[in-house]
Amino acid sequence: MKIETVLREHKRSITPERVKMFDFFTHKHLSSASDIEQAFPELGRASIFRTLRLFLKIGVIRRVALGERGENYELVDEDSHHEHMKCSKCGKVVSFESADICQKIFSEAQKIGFHVTEHSLSILGVCKNCMT
Ligand SMILES: [Zn+2]
Ligand SMILES: [Zn+2]
Ligand SMILES: [Zn+2]
pLDDT one-digit tens code per residue, 2-39: 999 999 999 999 999 999 999 999 999 999 999 999 99
The CA 74 to ligand 3 mean position distance, Å, reads 14
pLDDT at 78: 75
Ligand found nearest the CA of 81: 3
Nearest ligand by distance to the CA of 94:
1
Higher pLDDT, 71 or 105: 105
- Count the neighbouring beta carbons within 10 Å of the beta carbon of residue 61: 21
Residues 23, 52, 85, 132: what is their CA dihedral angle, to the nearest 10 degrees?
80
119 has a pLDDT exceeding 80 = yes
Closest C-alpha among 36, 24, 94 to residue 60: 24
Burial class of residue 113 in the structure, from the number of CB atoms within 10 Å of its CB (0-12 exposed, 13-18 middle, 19+ buried): exposed
* Per-residue b or e along 64-96, where b marks 16 or more CB atoms closer than 10 Å to that residue's CB: bebeeebebbbbbeeeeebbbbbbeeeeebeee
* pLDDT tens digits for range 61-97: 999 988 777 789 999 987 778 999 999 999 999 999 9
Give residue 117's pLDDT band: very low, low, confident or very high (50, 70, 90): confident
pLDDT of residue 112: 97
Cα of 69 vs centre of ligand 1, distance in Å, is: 17
